Chain A
Amino acid sequence: MTRVLLVDDHPMIGAALDMLLRGTAYELLGRSRSVGEAGRDIARLKPDLILLDVNLPDGSGLDVLRKVARMRSRPRVILLTAGMDEAQLLAAADLEPQGMVLKTSDPSLLTECIDAVAAGKRWIDPEIADRTRRAQERADSAPALTRRERELIELVRQGLRNRDIAAELGVTEGTVKVYLHAIFDKLQVENRTELALRAAQLISR
């Protein structure tokens, strides 16, 4: 019997996986609804396999994955997600979980993935593999943010006006505008408000 822990905060997914694993070679030990709960439950229940959602209420499932990667006897992990942005896809690819599957894919792929990972193989959803490859190509070809552009994004995030940013960086307002438009194009954001709201995620690329 393979002992499985589900880390997902959505009740519908919990109930569905409970049904799916019922009467199979997998035992669902329980469900953790947050990063904090997952840490405690993994230590307490010592599962063989973790089905891990990426977006959790108190943080990212990728943080749980990083912790698991540092464990001595580490359980196998399948990332189970309804959608990841490109930054998350690339970060997940770096962490190399044993399985990655989209909740929105055909559920038969989920069972295929669970069976493969439980058998010691690596199984990645074809759609995730394709999106990761394209994200990697874009990241390789896209010009990286310069130090000055990162500084400017940080100042926009703090709510400074162009005039104040110009004073802070020792350039003219016109230069700030030129920089901003270059950043909008590079990061494909529409305006400074969106830039400010997504700044933390964009700078971390």
Chain B
Amino acid sequence: MEQLATLRGLFKFHSGRVISLGRVMLAITLFLIVMVGRSRPELTQTDPFLVAYALGALVIAAATWKNWWLDARLATLTHGLDMAAFTAIAFSSTATSSPFILFFILPLLSAAVRWSWRETAVTAAVLIALFMIGGYLLSGAEVFDSQRFVLRAANLVILTLLLIWFGVHQRFARTFLRVEDFDSAIREGENPLAQSLGFAMRASQAAGGALIVGAVGEDACDGFVVQGDSGRNFSAERALVRRFQDGGDIALLFDVPAGRALTRQPGGRFHFLASLAALDLVEAQGLGLTKGLIAEVSTGTNHGWLALWDVPDLSTDFLDFGRELAGAVGALLDRFALFDAMEAGAAVRVRLSLARDVHDSIVQFLAGSAIRIEAIKRAASSGAMVESDLDELKRLFVEEQGEIRGFVMALRQHRDLELAEAVAELRALAERLGQQWSVDCRVSADGDEVPIPIRLQLDLQQLLREAVANAVRHGGADRIDVGLSVANDQVELSVVDNGSGFANGKDGRVDAEPWSLKERVERAHGSLKLRSVPGATNVLISLPLKRAAA
């Protein structure tokens, strides 16, 4: 298994290496077949070509094995060499065992992998034209087999179509990264830039890296850089990469000491340029960039650069890999931004909701109390007995104090409540409400132990207050049964009372609606069902657990 992994490492992200090795193997195999199959040992006129091709293939493989610059630089030359080999073999062999088809596939495959479908199509057109010319020239000879010629020409066209299709799709069919890689990169509470950079460094096995991101259209950026075992935040005032081409996200291999940089044009061709033309060398030096990969990062609102260095075995494939990695980093940053927005949204919702709760309960209670005191004062000044009014007011104050204390305690909680705790609080509230409204109010509960978010608990308490008040005030109920259950990420609150109920249509359908309950349920993104017949009114409220948690 270890050997297999080593072998995989040798060729992963090294399509240039695979092409070179394929060329060497083809050349040597052909040379050996020709030599072994020969009846007499003297040299023929094709032997020097075969030897030169095999040696050339070996030299190219050795020279480009670890050198991405030479691999890109020699790509056109080696392509021409491969096409020449095909032409020579197609011309010099007419036997049924001719291996020319393999020499047709090699340059086509190489064009499809290195460049795009356009280069693949041009290569195929040239090779087929050469084959046709060869056939035409040989047509004067007696041995020409026209039936086999047509069959082979048809094979070449079919192969061409297949490889052009491959050339079209290989530009965007590479998926180096999986969704699991993505999700495992996110840890709550840590610096998004550091996490995204760490993800890119792990995927590329880079020993150093920097991620620089700023607002679109501005040079000033924030960044995070990792050198050795340590990382730090930094700010940059100048753009790291110069804008040297239009269109498409840029990925760039660079070698500052050698003054080289390599990128792909939007069409897929290599673009060679001086590192000075591609990079701001002062910024690059500040980050410690010498050799490595830079790719353009775009998010929903920001733009920046991912730089990776000390990447083992850098190759031209990293131009595509870098672009994909930068896309993944952009998506990760977007995901972090989404989490931030969700947290900010939840905070705003809780703030507005709390403001409303305080307004609806405490402010209204105090305003009402002040009016009551004014009424009592006036009654006292006219000689009326006010002791019972004062007792009633005192009772209301004590109750409200209990409500406020419960409200504040819920807000102080640093964690969600367990279901049992939430039920205990609702039971205590039901007891207070029972005393306040002179009604028998009981709470029962069932369901899995799940955490109840504080926002949801406050909603449940307020809904219970309003449901009990409705049942007593409108229905004259003296018995209220409250049920709480949790299932399928929903909390269900059922309030059944024995009052006369709401105004009814036929079959328990309800014409009037409890507005305050309905409004609060809608704000909590829940649903409310109401069935009411004289003697049995059931308010069934369903609230989502997850929404409250967000």
Contact = CB atoms under 8 A, between A and B. Distances in A.
A137 B503 CA distance: 48
B367 A82 contact: yes
Given A12-B396, A82-B363, A193-B345, A177 B301 contact: yes
A80 to B, nearest CB: 9
B363 A104 contact: yes
Given A174-B215, A193-B348, A13 B519 contact: no
Contacts of A36: 515
Contact of A15 (B216, B301, B372): B372
A179 to B, nearest CB: 13
Given A58-B515, A82-B359, A174 B345 contact: no
Interface stretch (A17-25, A42-50, A61-69, A143-151): A17-25
B515 A34 contact: yes
B117 to A, nearest CB: 29
B215 A16 contact: no
A57 B515 contact: yes
A127 to B, nearest CB: 13
B371 A17 contact: yes
A20 B349 contact: no
A155 to B, nearest CB: 14
A12 B364 contact: yes
B473 interface: yes
A60 interface: no
A162 interface: yes
Contact of A20 (B363, B375, B469, B518): B375
Given A23-B379, A174-B215, A193-B341, A15 B516 contact: no
Nearest to B382: A23
A107 B371 contact: yes
Nearest to A102: B367
Contact of A197 (B348, B365, B367): B348
B519 A162 contact: no
Contacts of B300: 161-163
Given A13-B364, A82-B359, A162-B300, A111 B374 contact: yes
A12 B369 contact: yes
B371 A16 contact: yes
B515 A16 contact: no
A173 interface: yes
A192 B370 CA distance: 39
A34 to B, nearest CB: 5
Contact of B515 (A9, A110, A163, A174): A9
Contacts of B363: 82-83, 103-104
B368 interface: yes
A10 B515 contact: no
Nearest to B352: A197
Interface string A64-92: 00000000000000000011000000000
Interface residues of B, number: 39
B473 A107 contact: no
Contacts of A13: 364, 367-368, 371
A158 interface: no
B158 interface: no
Given A107-B371, A111-B374, A193-B348, A19 B301 contact: no
B389 A19 contact: yes
B388 to A, nearest CB: 11
A104 B359 contact: no
A83 B364 CA distance: 10
Interface in B383-402: 384, 389, 396
Contact of B371 (A20, A34, A161): A20
Nearest to A83: B359
A141 interface: no
A12 B374 contact: no
A10 B378 CA distance: 23
Given A23-B379, A58-B515, A162-B301, A104 B374 contact: no
Contact of B349 (A55, A83, A177, A197): A197
A57 B516 contact: yes
Interface in A169-196: 172-174, 177, 190-194
A177 B352 contact: no
A10 B466 CA distance: 10
B344 A193 contact: yes
A22 B215 contact: no
A10 B368 contact: yes
A106 B369 CA distance: 11
B373 A173 contact: no
B167 to A, nearest CB: 31
Contacts of A106: 370
A161 B299 CA distance: 11
**Residue among A15, A34, A161, A193 with the highest chain B CB neighbour number at 10 A:** A193
Nearest to A53: B364
Interface string B432-460: 00000000000000000000000000000
B344 A22 contact: no
Nearest to B344: A193
Contacts of B349: 197
B530 to A, nearest CB: 15
Contacts of A204: none
A179 B505 CA distance: 52
A108 B344 CA distance: 43
Contacts of A56: 515
Nearest to A162: B301
Nearest to A21: B375
A33 interface: yes
A120 interface: no
B263 to A, nearest CB: 24
Contact of B516 (A9, A83, A192): A9
Nearest to B518: A57
Contacts of B518: 57
Contacts of B469: 11
A174 B217 CA distance: 7
Contacts of B109: none
A19 B396 contact: no
B366 A19 contact: no
28 contacts: A12-B367, A12-B368, A15-B372, A16-B368, A16-B369, A16-B370, A16-B372, A19-B379, A19-B389, A20-B374, A33-B516, A34-B515, A36-B515, A82-B363, A103-B364, A103-B371, A104-B363, A104-B370, A107-B375, A163-B301, A172-B216, A173-B301, A177-B216, A177-B301, A191-B348, A192-B341, A193-B345, A194-B348
Interface pairs A-B: 9 shortest CB-CB? A12-B368, A107-B374, A57-B515, A103-B367, A16-B371, A19-B375, A20-B375, A16-B368, A193-B345
Interface of A: 9-13, 15-17, 19-20, 22-23, 33-34, 36, 55-58, 82-83, 103-104, 106-108, 110-111, 161-163, 172-174, 177, 190-194, 197
